[in-house]
Structure 1
Amino acid sequence: MGDASLESRIARLVHSHFDALPKRSKPTIHPSGSREWIPLSSIVLVIGEGTPDEILTCVTIATGAKCLSSSQINQCQGMVLHDSHAEILAIRAFNHWLLEECKSILAQGIDPPNHEIEYEIIGANDTKDNDEVGTYPTREEISVTQASAFINWRHQPETEKNLASGTLSRTSDINHSTKTKLSWPPFELRKDLKIYMYGTCAPCGDASMELCMASQEDPTPWATPPLKTNNNSESSSSNSDGNQANPTHTTTNLLNGRAHFSILGAVRRKPSRADAESTLSKSCSDKLAVKQVVSLLTFPACLLIAPSPNAYLSALLLPEEEISRIACARAFGGGETGRLRELNGRRWSSDGDDDTASVGGRLDYAFHPFKVRPVPTAQVEEGWAFGKPKDIEGEVKKKSKSGNISAVWTAAPSSTAMYGKHGKLAITTTTNLNETLINGVKQGYRLSSPTPRKASALSRAKMWGLLRDIMQLLPSADDNTGDNAATAQRDRHEMHMSTETGLGDTPEYPLLAKVKECVLTAQSYDMMKRKCVELGLGPMKVRNEVMLDVRDVLGNWVENRGDEDWGLDVLDESRAKKVVARE
């Protein structure tokens, strides 16, 4: 692992991946000398932290600082990203990567029970010998005995119901010597995995208010104008417990991103110019605060992966100069000043007794505050050439503006990647996704264009399409639809599962059929999500309750609605051509 701290090694790994991206993914330095700046955010997974076998894997990278105005939302049709701030793109990319990981597990099919796949891999040099990333790696061999390096099957052996540690490593293990039940959600993150987020600047919103104030020529908080009171007196009274870190229960409008510095602990909009049209996208601080309770698993990944304790963010890594301990304790913490402190000790559970609920054990949500840990500012400035220029007394201020391009990168599924071991950095040599986006769509397309080619893989429509593909790979006793590959995959499952211990004879099949019905036949995105919640599929019902409770504690959470009434037909190119023809 070397002498460098975990924070420094994660930062170095992220920057090495970003440096390898194509020029189109990076901000521009103009001939005039003016330059663009952009925030970067990344998700890094750590397996076996603090052990000789520790492995770091960068799975997503994103840059961005823009979001859509509220008037643009109803034009999106599921194909446009509402929020292109780096932190939010990184989380969406992480969930896309998880879905691809699930798909890869299912697509690998059935292997002999004791089959081992040997890869000749390229790993990074041991950090004990060389702390630099990107040097020529060493060669070694590794045996892989499970379908994913990061995700396991959940299952419940009927003969050993109390063994909570049981996991399935590949699809064929659904039918081993003991009778098993397919759990739902079917997957979970491996238990020795931790999730870290690295960013080059503080999240917008409450966690950066003190930094914003300090950067003003006059850091005195602005005078606060009278705010409208909430007409819902019951809601106000139910939360009037003296929580001074949460004043937003008494307001009816979201605060602008940088307005009213004296109001702290408030839910805010994304920051924008004073003359810009308003947005209903909440700040990154607010969205990250919610993730501390609902986990990093968003829809639809939460339908397939259980919200285990390690599905929550372990720590947020930021440059030391970008951390205000007071602000972070208030925005994210559960201490005396924390705006989520009343959630301490609360737990939301699905008991799994209902046929339509989760199968394979109780699913729990709880408040898991992440830590905010520093990375040396000098290291970040050395590795990140696209930070916002600082005003230095006595020096001429450099011209700069925020970039309008967002870059998104994700690693390939772990079954196709190459990893190091024994404390080595895991350099993923294959890429699953590399997109350049402007205004929430792929570069070269307009937001208003009807073609699905504009849609990012992270868009709602494309994520639903990916979920559909995954559902068609799951075994089913009565579903013979789908493309030839999916049908062949099911035939292989059914041949292997034709004994009395087969999945087709277990009571979980009706649940699987309901999940498939929701995903494959819903007429609109809104109907699909509502049906999943109504039926309590997986953790959906309890997750919805958690979301409502957290937003109530934060107060004044205004939903950014208007992009729900569309179906998967928006991804049909022929439909788009008909729309153009009518115009």
Structure 2
Amino acid sequence: MGEESSLEYRIASLVHSHFNALPKRSKPAIHPNGIREWIPLSGIVLVIGEGTPEETLTCVAIATGAKCLSSSQIPQCRGLVLHDSHAEILAIRAFNRWLLEECKSTLLYEAEVDWQQRAQDQVSHDVTASDSNPTGGTGSGTRSQFVQLRLADEEVAHTAIGGDTDAPPMARHRKLLWPPFKLREDLKIWMYCTCAPCGDASMELCMAAQDDPTPWAVPPSSTECTESGGDPAGSLLDGRGYFSILGVVRRKPSRADAESTLSKSCSDKLAAKQVTSLLSFTTSLLVAPTSNAYISRLLLPEEEVSQAGCERAFGSGTTGRLKPLNGQTWDDTSVGGVEYGFRPFEIRTLSARLTEELWMFGKPKDTRIKSKPGNAAAIWTAQQSVLSTSTTKLSNAHNSLQGNLCETIINGTKQGHKFASPSPRKASAVSRAKMWDLLRDIVKLLPTISTCEDPGETSTSANKFETEIGGSDDSAASSDLLFLDKLKQIIAISSTYEALKENAADAGLSSIRNRALSDLRNMLGNWVRNIGDEGWGLGVLKEEVVKKPHPRSLKVPQAVPASLANPGI
């Protein structure tokens, strides 16, 4: 037993078991010339009841990948192409896709069961306690094992999902809060990676691997670049260069002859997740950034951990670059009680022996072995835990390793499609456009003021979001529904992704998150944004259909009788 029974090993082996079940096309290959591909692997595992007899582990997302796009390619993406295909970043995007699907399934399930009756039956019970039973509620379906609706008890007009208003007025119900979802309270997020995150956390490892560890010449500072009118991208250091400069934001590593990228290193992006949580922009509009929405543990092979590098890149101690954020929170009681904070994760390790047993696609340590990073990336997510009565039998017949999503990505698009192709079919399910589209589908299922109250009693403005929150007792009682209404309005009026972000901030739905992220970037000092892929709308997902004549409508020439062809004969 020993280490094989540890939580760290069980989490790592669970991630690897899902990778092993992927199709061959999603795995590294050995080329005819003997060159062997290697690839990093990352996975997100949800641990419920950690350290208790009821402890459960569920891998909800895995990804592989080691590529990213150059800065000149970003304006061509139009929301359909992934900028950053490093395993850690794809795994986080996959987790957010899975979480949004879990939210959608939850709303569909609540619409299927008798929502009013179940809410009244459970009004005296604690939300967490009642939701801990995955088979709770009426009907034969199952409720989410991971996501809960945020509900509050009060005597209000009916606020049911789907807008049913048959309940008696002022009946005792549970009011839906904003954000409408949260992760269950006894859940912790573990992230497992087979190699150290690129960037600041791995600089000591990079130095140790160099034949010549002599520091490079120090480039001009970001201040000098800005004052001289130079390219601000010059303030971003190369991913593996300038070893003597530590604790700074770096770009993704690449070949020396490759065009530069503005994608930040995985160390920097993971550091930012310690402030904004693991929730992406779209997911944060629906799911509350509770303390357990942050990474709890980052699990790495022991030989991929530099204690000094990790403490500097992620830690809050004396050497941590994020030390100034210790104890800091960003909140606004008028915005759904949303609070962000600096919540550093803990680094856990797995022995080299167990890592080698589990992973055969790591970068060879023997330099005599010809190898290169694989071009293909893989994305996988688990099926939803929410099963309606109509899908229970079908889902029970599925293999437990079968996922909801399984994609192979090359150059930011799905395998079989070209980067320059205008077809939306190339877009991954975790692309910006597809995530926005899924958000729109979910928002349609949420209640609105018009379905819950007298529309004439509340004035809203879709363009300027002029509704006052907390201005009176009535508006305060309806503030959460007002935010839900604002979210619906934003989705309806935003013509571009850039407008979606701006409108969400203006409405107060993402302003706190933006403030936290801005403070982080300003503190780090040389964070250069990778902009240029914001001026598109959901119309990019509508493929132009070229109508082809139906085969039956085509007139096939018939053989002409000889007597008609030659009437003179």
TM bucket by the smaller chain? Answer: 0.7 to 0.9
Q: CA deviation at 1:178?
A: 2.6
* Counterparts of 1:111 and 1:225, CA distance in 2: 63
Which residue in the other structure is 1:581 paired with?
Answer: none
Instruction: Find the partner of 1:511 among 459, 483, 486.
Output: 483
| Cα displacement string for residues 28-50 of structure 1 (whole angstroms, at most 9, x for unaligned residues) | 11233221000000000000000
Cα deviation for residue 96 of structure 1 reads 0.4
2: distance between equivalents of 1:200 and 1:549? 31
Partner deviation per Cα, 1:251-287 (whole Å, 9 max, x = no partner): 9610011110000001000000000000000000000
**Residue in 1 that maps onto 2:270:** 288
Task: Kindly indicate whether residue 119 of structure 2 is the aligned counterpart of residue 147 of structure 1.
Answer: no
Q: What does residue range 459-474 of structure 1 map to in structure 2 within 5 Å?
A: 459-474=431-446
- Superposed CA deviations along residues 165-209 of structure 1, whole A, max 9, x for unmatched, are xxx999999989634332110000000000000000000000000
Aligned counterpart, 1:554: 524
Residue matched to 2:372: 401
* Residue of structure 1 aligned with 2:200, choices 200, 206, 217: 206
Distance across 2 between alignment mates of 1:42 and 1:170: 33
Deviations 1:522-574, CA, capped at 9 Å, x for gaps? 1111001100001102xx11000000000111111100000000010100012
**Aligned equivalent of 2:54:** 53
Partner of 1:257: 239
User: Matches of residues 158-557 of structure 1 in structure 2 within 5 Å?
Assistant: 158=154, 178-227=172-221, 229-230=223-224, 253-352=235-334, 358-359=335-336, 362-391=337-366, 397-416=368-387, 428-476=400-448, 478=450, 506=478, 508-537=480-509, 540-557=510-527
Output the CA distance in 1 between the equivalents of 2:104 and 2:534: 25
Query: Which string of whole-angstrom CA distances, capped at 9 and with x for unpartnered residues, describes residues 136-177 of structure 1?
Result: xxxxx98455621001111222379xxxxxxx9999999896
Q: 1:76 to 1:402 in 2, by over 3 A?
A: same
Q: 1:199 to 1:220 in 2, by over 3 A?
A: same
SS of equivalent residue, structure 2 residue 409: strand
**Bigger radius of gyration, 1 or 2?**
2
Does the 8 A contact of 1:213 with 1:261 survive in 2? Answer: yes
Q: Distance in 2 between matches of 1:214 and 1:576?
A: 57
Aligned position for 1:65: 66
Output one character per residue of 1:227-254: Cα deviation in whole Å (capped at 9) or x when no partner.
4634779xxxxxxxxxxxxxxxx99610
3-state DSSP of counterpart to 1:229: helix
Contact 2:161 2:446 in 1 (8 A): no
SS state at 2:261 partner:
coil
Distance 1:398 1:197, change over 3 A: same
SS in 2 for 1:158: strand
Structure 1 counterpart of 2:536:
566
| Distance 1:479-1:560 versus aligned 2 partners, 3 A rule | farther
Helix, strand or coil at the partner of 1:105: helix
Q: Which residue of 1 aligns with 2:468?
A: none
> Quick one: structure 1 residues 75 and 142, their matched pair in 2 at CA, closer, same or farther if it must change by over 3 Å?
closer
The answer as to whether partners of 1:87 and 1:284 remain within 8 angstroms in 2 is: yes
| Offset from partner CA, 1:305-353 (integer Å, 9 cap, x none) | 000000000011000000000000000000000000000011111112x
Give the Cα separation in 2 of the matches to 1:43 and 1:20: 16
Contact 2:220 2:235 in 1 (8 A): no
Give how far 1:511 is off.
Answer: 2.8
Does structure 1 conserve the Cα–Cα contact (< 8 Å) formed by 2:295 and 2:345?
yes
Alignment CA distance shift 1:72-1:156 (3 Å): same
Q: Secondary structure at the match of 1:297?
A: coil
| TM-score (norm: length of structure 1) | 0.78
- Change in Cα spacing, 1:227 to 1:350, as seen in structure 2 (3 Å) is closer
Instruction: After superposition, give the CA deviation of every residue in 1:69-114 in whole Å (9 maximum; x if it has no partner).
Output: 0000000010000000000000000000000000000112242446
2:152 maps to 156
Deviation at 1:380, TM superposition (A): 1.3
Q: For 2:113, which of 111, 114, 132 is the aligned residue?
A: 111
**C-alpha contact (below 8 Å) 1:450/1:576 kept by paired residues:** no
Inter-CA distance 40–339: structure 2 relative to 1 (3 Å threshold)? same
8 Å contact kept, 2:135–2:143: no
For 1:438 and 1:172, the matched residues in 2 are separated by 43
For residues 282 and 344 of structure 1, the distance between their equivalents in structure 2, rounded to whole angstroms, comes to 23
Does structure 2 conserve the Cα–Cα contact (< 8 Å) formed by 1:152 and 1:187?
A: yes
Q: How many residues align?
A: 485
Q: Distance in 1 between matches of 2:546 and 2:263?
A: 28
Gaps of 5+ in 1: 116-140, 161-167, 234-249, 353-357, 418-426, 481-504, 578-583
Q: Distance in 2 between matches of 1:228 and 1:267?
A: 11
**How high is the sequence identity, in percent, across the aligned residues?**
59
Structure 2 unmatched ranges of 5 or more: 120-132, 389-398, 453-476, 548-569
Distance 2:195 2:282 in 1: 28
Residue 42 of structure 1 is matched in structure 2 by 43
Aligned counterparts of 1:317 and 1:169: Cα–Cα separation in 2: 41
2-structure distance, mates of 1:575, 1:527: 27
Give, as a single letter, the amino acid of the residue that structure 1 aligns with 2:360. Answer: A
Aligned to 2:124: none
Q: Tell which deviates more after alignment, 560-569 or 511-520.
A: 511-520
Residues 519, 413 of structure 1: alpha-carbon distance in 2 compared, 3 angstrom cutoff: same
Aligned-pair Cα RMSD in Å: 3.0
Distance 1:314 1:400 in 2: 34
